[in-house]
Amino acid sequence: MSCCGKDTTKERGQAILDIVDADTISSNTFNEPSLDYIFKYIIIGEFSVGKTCLLMRFQDGTFREEYESTIGVEFGTKNVQIQDTLIKLRIWDTAGSEKFRCITRGYFRGSIGAIIVYDISNRSTFEHIDEWVQELEKYNSSNYVLMIIGNKCDSSQRTVTTDEGKDKAKKLNAEFFECSAKTGENIEKAFMTLTELVLRDVSSGKISLENN
Ligand SMILES: Nc1nc2c(ncn2[C@@H]2O[C@H](COP(=O)(O)OP(=O)(O)OP(=O)(O)O)[C@@H](O)[C@H]2O)c(=O)[nH]1
Ligand SMILES: [Mg+2]
C-alpha cells in the first residue's frame, strides 16, 4: 500500500457555528499546484470515543490523555499520496455530545468519506452506530465510503468483541478497523485504506466531487 505523501502540509483549526468557512478554506487550498484532489471526510460518533485523538494521531503523531470535549467542530488536514495521486484530506472532527448535534450535522454535507467511531471499552457507544448511520443518510447528500473504527483497542476493559465490530461493519457495507489513538495501532492504515477506496470510487465516477 502506498503510504503518506512527501508533502505533509497540515492545517488545524476550529470552526464553531461557521459552516461557510469549510467551503472557503477548500477553494483556497487548490492554490497548491501539485494537488490532484481535495477529499472531505467527517469523523462522528458518541462523545469521548476518541475522535479528536484519532485525528491528532493521524495528523501530528501525538496523543493527549486529558479529555477535552470538542466544542462544535474542528478540522485537520493532511496531504497523502496514493501512487502518483496527491490528495489533500480535509477532515472534520465533530463533537459527539447531543447538545452540538444541530451544529455538527451542517458539516456532513459533501463528505465523501465518513468514519463512525466507537469505543471498544464502552458498549453503549457501539450500540449507537445505527443512529449515526441514519444521521449520515439524512444530512449527507453525497455518495460516500463508510468506515467503522473501534477505538481504544489498547484497553484491557473490552466490552465489544472484534467479531461483533466486523459483523456490524459487514451489515453496513462498511470497512472496519480496530485502532488505538494511544499507541498509534492501525491509524495510518485506516485513513489510507479509506482514501484508497474513496479514490477508487472517484475514479470510477461512483462518487462525485461536485459538492465536496
Ligand atoms: N486508552 C485509550 N484512551 C484513548 C484513546 N483515544 C482516546 N482516548 C482517551 O479518551 C478520551 C476522549 O478522547 P477524545 O479524542 O477527546 O474524544 P472525542 O470522541 O473527540 O470526544 P468529543 O469531542 O467530546 O466528542 C481522552 O481522555 C483520551 O485520552 C485510545 O486509543 N486509547
Ligand atoms: Mg473531540
CA of 106 to the centre of ligand 2 (A): 17
CA of 12 to the centre of ligand 1 (A): 18
CA of 151 to the centre of ligand 1 (A): 9
pLDDT higher at 128 or 19 = 128
Least-confidence region, from 2-16, 91-105, 195-209: 2-16
Only one residue has cell 462544535, namely 72
pLDDT at 6: 37
Neighbours of ion ligand 2 (CB under 5 A): 51-52, 70
Q: Where are the domains of the chain?
A: 23-204
Give the fold, CATH level 3, of 23-204. Rossmann fold (3.40.50)
pLDDT at 3: 31
pLDDT above 90 for 57:
yes
Give residues with Cβ within 8 angstroms of 39, minimum separation 6: 87, 88, 89, 90, 112, 113, 195, 198, 202, 212
- Tens digits of per-residue pLDDT, 152-186? 999 999 999 999 999 999 999 999 999 999 999 99
- Tens digits of per-residue pLDDT, 79-104? 999 999 999 999 999 999 999 999 99
pLDDT above 60 for 16:
no
53, 155, 186: residue to mutate for ligand 1 pocket, most atoms within 8 A of CB: 53
pLDDT at 189: 98
Strand, coil or helix: 73: strand
56: left (phi over 0), alpha (psi -120 to 50) or beta: alpha
42, 48, 121, 182: residue to mutate for ligand 1 pocket, most atoms within 8 A of CB: 48
Q: What phi and psi values does residue 177 have, to the nearest 5 degrees?
A: -140, 145
Task: Give which of 35, 52, 54 is closest to 150, Cα–Cα.
Answer: 54
